[in-house]
Amino acid sequence: MRDMRALVIDDSKAMRMILGRLLKTVGFEVSEACHGRDALEKLGDGPPVDLALVDWNMPEMNGLDFVKAVRGSGNHAAMKLMMVTTESELARVQAAIEAGADEYVMKPFTPEVLKDKLVQMGFGA
């Protein structure tokens, strides 16, 4: 089986580092994008991605629009999408689920919470 690949999509460099480090500890190869449009470009150029962690508020293309664009394209159908939200955005999570997001995690979260979600999604032990 090939290595698992994750794409961390967030306009915060600090958040990308935190999430990237965590994903590496559970065995992902990690790449980063700083907003939705950047992510679409990287998905178009790169190898298949198994999991994308998607921030909400980003310049150029926000997280919800990214989910809509990916799921509407019919490409990357096997890629799981996890929204990374704040509490104030929870009411909007339903819109992302309806658009095709698979899961969400609320900031701030512990490494254990994120790892549990990943296991539920079929990643990791």
The residue within the footprint of Mg ion, chosen from 11, 29, 65, 103 (CB under 5 A), is 11
Say how many residues touch Mg ion, by CB under 5 A.
3
The residue within the footprint of Mg ion, chosen from 32, 50, 55, 102 (CB under 5 A), is 55
Written as six digits, the tokens of 107 are: 């900031």
How many Å apart are CA 22 and CA 53, to the nearest integer? 12
Nearer to Mg ion, 40 or 123 (CB): 40
Nearer to Mg ion, 28 or 66 (CB): 66
Q: For residues 70 and 81, is the Cβ–Cβ distance under 8 A?
A: yes
> What's the maximum distance between 2 C-alpha atoms anywhere in the chain?
39
Which residues are 80's β-sheet partners?
A: 51
The residue within the footprint of Mg ion, chosen from 57, 92, 116, 124 (CB under 5 A), is 57
| Closest separation in Å from C-beta 68 to Mg ion | 17
How many Å apart are CA 108 and CA 100, to the nearest integer? 23
DSSP symbol at 1: -
| Closest separation in Å from C-beta 97 to Mg ion | 19
| Closest separation in Å from C-beta 124 to Mg ion | 26
Helices (H) and strands (E) in the chain, counts: 5, 5
Looking at 18-26, 41-49, 51-59, 71-79, which segment touches Mg ion (CB under 5 A)? 51-59
Q: Which residues bind Mg ion (CB under 5 A)?
A: 11, 55, 57
